[in-house]
Structure 1
């Protein structure tokens, strides 16, 4: 379950999400591999969940390894908002 304020990174393949999980866990970052929430479209069916306090570190490591997620969402008030950067996005229920 994704709580308000948590982020969900969606990848376009199972290979990429598994590689991202491995790298992030090797860096001891507090992430969790989860089934992609039904409200979000995910080709591989899996996603990575992480807290807002860890966003910069998680996304920095992913970028460093060329594993930029296809999309990133944050849970807010029971809906998901797409993150286009530090500010902005659109809402999905």
Structure 2
């Protein structure tokens, strides 16, 4: 039976649920191919995120967390956690 989407005719906003996700491979100084709406932590560890000003801050993160941050990049130096991007 085909899936029904009762919300197909509604516009999405920043408070709408994400509808796409993608793997993130940390890389120093490299912008993510798509800037995510938020990040979801798959495995715990440290996460070095770069913002739109180029500032990198490393956070201790835990599996299951959803980070309300639209990172420009995830640096390999300092990152031991695994994250995915949500759009």
> TM > 0.5 between the two?
no
TM-score scaled by length of structure 1: 0.28
Larger radius of gyration: 2
Structure with bigger RCO (C-alpha 8 Å, 6+ apart): 2
Task: Select the structure that is richer in strand.
Answer: 2
Return the TM-score normalized by structure 2.
0.29
The structure in which a higher percent of residues are helix is 1
